[in-house]
Amino acid sequence: MVKPLQLATASSLLATSAIAADPCSSIHGHGLQVPGAEVISVTGFTVTNATVLTLPPVPGPISGLNFCNVSVILTHPGANDSVAVEVWLPTQDWNGRYQATGGGGYSSGEGEFALAPAVAAGYATSQTDGGNIGSGFVLNPQTLTPDGQINWPLFTDYAYRSIHDMTIVSKFIIKAYYGKAQKYSYWNGCSTGGRQGWVQAQMYPDDYDGILAAAPAANTPSLGTAIQWPYVVMMQEKYIPSQCEFMAFINASIAQCDGLDGVEDGIISNVQGCAFDPYCLVGERITCDGKQVTITSITARIYQKILDGPTTPSGVKLWYGQNVGTGFNGLYPGDIEVVTTNGTTTATPSPLSDNFIRYLLKRDPAYDTSQITYSEFAQLFAQANFEFDWIISSNNPDLSGFRKSGGKMITWHGLGDNIIFPHGTINYRQRVEAVMGGTTAVDEFFRLYLPPGVNHCGGGYGPYPTDPLDALVAWVEHGKAPETLAGQYVDVNGEVVNHSICRYPLVSKYDGKGNPNSASSYTCATSFGLKS
On whether both 217 and 252 belong to a single domain, the answer is no
- 468 by DSSP, 3-state: which? helix
518 occurs within a structural domain: no
10-residue mean pLDDT series, the chain (532 residues): 40 41 84 96 96 81 96 97 98 97 96 95 98 94 96 98 98 97 98 98 98 98 96 96 94 96 93 96 95 97 96 97 80 74 91 97 97 98 98 98 98 94 97 98 98 91 94 98 96 89 96 93 90 44
In sequence order, the 6+-apart residues with CB closer than 8 A to the CB of 378 are 310, 311, 312, 313, 318
What pLDDT, on a 0 to 100 scale, did the predictor assign at position 9? 43
Domain containing 50 — which CATH number? 3.40.50.1820
Query: How many CB atoms neighbour CB 464 within 10 A?
Result: 25
Q: How many domains does one find in the chain?
A: 2
On whether both 377 and 409 belong to a single domain, the answer is no
On whether both 84 and 177 belong to a single domain, the answer is yes
On whether both 366 and 424 belong to a single domain, the answer is no
On whether both 258 and 184 belong to a single domain, the answer is no
What pLDDT, on a 0 to 100 scale, did the predictor assign at position 218? 98
Residue that finishes a domain, picked among 370, 388, 406:
388
452 occurs within a structural domain: yes
On whether both 263 and 194 belong to a single domain, the answer is no
Count CA atoms within 13 Å of residue 38 on its CB side.
Answer: 9
300 occurs within a structural domain: yes
Distance (Å, rounded) from C-alpha 126 to C-alpha 205?
19
On whether both 155 and 234 belong to a single domain, the answer is no
Residue that finishes a domain, picked among 388, 408, 434:
388
What pLDDT, on a 0 to 100 scale, did the predictor assign at position 29? 87
- 340 by DSSP, 3-state: which? strand
Residue that finishes a domain, picked among 388, 420, 448:
388
On whether both 180 and 235 belong to a single domain, the answer is no
On whether both 254 and 337 belong to a single domain, the answer is yes
490 occurs within a structural domain: no
101 occurs within a structural domain: yes
511 occurs within a structural domain: no
Distance (Å, rounded) from C-alpha 20 to C-alpha 319?
54
Distance (Å, rounded) from C-alpha 108 to C-alpha 114?
12
413 occurs within a structural domain: yes
Active site residues: 191, 417, 456
On whether both 236 and 127 belong to a single domain, the answer is no
Name residue 304's amino acid. Q
112 occurs within a structural domain: yes
What pLDDT, on a 0 to 100 scale, did the predictor assign at position 108? 97
In sequence order, the 6+-apart residues with CB closer than 8 A to the CB of 506 are 524, 525, 526
On whether both 340 and 396 belong to a single domain, the answer is no
On whether both 295 and 152 belong to a single domain, the answer is no
Question: Nearest-CA neighbor of 100 among 213, 205, 8, 219?
Answer: 213
Give tens-digit pLDDT for 19-60.
445 789 989 889 999 999 999 999 999 999 999 988 777 777
- Domain that includes residue 126, residue range: 10-221+391-476
